[in-house]
Amino acid sequence: MTEATPQVSAQADSFHERLEHIALYRWWRRSVVGRVDHEAVMARIVEDSGWSPRYAFMVMMSAGIAVLGLLLSSPAVVIGAMLISPLMSPILGLGFSLALFDFGEMRRSLTALAIGAVAAVLFTALIVALSPLQAPTAEIIARTRPNLFDLAVALFAALAGTFAIIRGRGDTIVGVAIATALMPPLAVVGFGLATWNMPVLGGALALFVTNFVTIALSATVMARFYGFGHYLSSQQTWTQTFVLLFVFVGLAIPLGISLKQIAGEAVMVNQTRSFLSERFGADARVTQLDIDFDAAPVVVRAVVITPRGRMQRTAALQDDLAGALGRPLKLRLDQVLLEPGAGAIEAQREEIRQAGDAAAIATQRIASLAQMLALTAGIAPDNVTIDRDHHRAMATAAPLPGASLSTYRALEQRAAVQADGWDVVLTPPQMPYPPIGFASSDDALDVTAREAVLVTAWAARRWNVRSLAVPGLPQEAPESPSLVQRRALAIAALVRENGIEPVPAAPAGSRFVLQSASGGEQP
């Protein structure tokens, strides 16, 4: 711990002598500060806050568990990663060093934190890069948009954790680690780095910085409350106070703006629903309502079931709704008209309610599907095509560094699993087909060669290629085919099974590389 200089000690003594005349200060010194073993607490903090091989190993294991839990969208696995994450210790060390003006401990804690964060990001990025499952899940998306509530969670959890450490109940720090969730945001940063998805990376990094800065400064506040750094002068104390206020306000402003935006979107949805319900009357029901806030102007999509006599003109509704909300917008409205005498009003309302519930669920699912596929393809949600009638979602993927056709096919398969009941079509960017290799003197497709043919056929269908040139494929089946011809025939049979017509091409080398023959662009 850093020792105070004689001049600072004299200023501190004078400062505290004046405070001793205040009854509240005397009570605080006796009942709060006097019950804490400061040396023992600092010994525990210093012991756990530095870098060590064990610390680095536990960080990487925690990061590995976290990213696997995120890719599997398993909250239980993510919580397991939080339980073993050691990142809390150097952050608490940083907080106590700020309270004590102990720059040596500050360097140790920052070094350990930097090593842990970099190791976690690189390790998770490596796992994601080697994994065929690279589609953003709900657990990943949930950590890409921090707001003021995240700061409040980190603040309360840090105060509770620091209290537990100071009062000798450090085991509860495990629960605090779960609440603040330091490791999952870092794992999402690694995911964003591996997939080169900057919105995901930036949002998760902002969440991690919010958590660790809030925890560190909250630890500083609690440490000063329990008498750590009591020898500091009034000037140093006021410096700490201004720095804490400045940082908290600096964090709160952008997070508050984010929260305000989220709240504003929710309010606009409610106002739009209320407006449409009022205009169409009590016998109508707004069954679908989806607002695209990223569009300029905002696009409102709605479906209303209404009696024929209450039918409205879309253009007039759009102008009135824009005036009510105070912002320009585009209204895309579908009106389902109920005929007079189609049934009792109560029966119609029941039909409306059932249809509305199902439609609302479908709309929410479609919006989630578009968002998920957009993050998977690395594009904006507006570029995702949704075919409601045929339950098909289509997108053209942006180029990803180091990605092959196998990567894009795996992304499509993962997205299809999450979009239960929907046909997901992910078109990869143009690139060469994978080579198809055979074992020496073997004409049968092994697992690797078969996968290469399947990937080639999949890419050809996505590029609207109707035929593929197979090197060595004979025009007619020979009586005694050569080894090259037998191999070409095996490839052609599998290509034909997957809906692509094989055509002959001149053989070239021992490895087969198919080429687009017609009906699409040459990669």
Q: Quote the mean pLDDT of the chain.
A: 76
**Topology, domain 430-518:** 60s Ribosomal Protein L30; Chain: A; (3.30.1330)
Is the pLDDT at 402 greater than 70? The verdict is yes
CB 129 within 8 A of CB 194: yes
3-state secondary structure 108-119: HHHHHHHHHHHH
b vs e for 489-506, b when ≥16 Cβ sit within 10 Å of the residue's Cβ?
bbbbebbeeeebebbbbe
Mean pLDDT along residues 148-177: 71
Alpha carbon 203 to its chain's center = 8
Is the pLDDT at 199 greater than 70? The verdict is yes
Per-residue pLDDT tens for 465-515?
888 888 888 887 777 888 888 888 888 888 888 888 888 877 655 556 666
pLDDT at 422: 77
Pairing of strands 501-505, 515-518: unpaired
Per-residue pLDDT tens for 356-373?
555 555 666 677 777 777
Measure the CA dihedral 136/148/96/27, to 10°: -150
Domain regions of the chain by residue span: 32-232, 430-518
pLDDT at 359: 56
For Cα atoms 355, 360, 366, give the angle at the middle one, nearest 5 degrees.
125
Consecutive H or E run containing 224: helix 198-225
Per-residue pLDDT tens for 21-75?
566 556 566 666 656 677 777 777 777 777 788 888 888 898 888 888 888 877 7
Which residue bears the tokens 């968002």?
371
Closest C-alpha to 78, from 20, 143, 16:
143
CB 514 within 8 A of CB 490: no
Which residue bears the tokens 């870092």?
186
Concatenated DSSP letters for 321-341?
Answer: HHHHHTS-EEEEEEEEEEPTT
pLDDT at 247: 66
499: left (phi over 0), alpha (psi -120 to 50) or beta: left
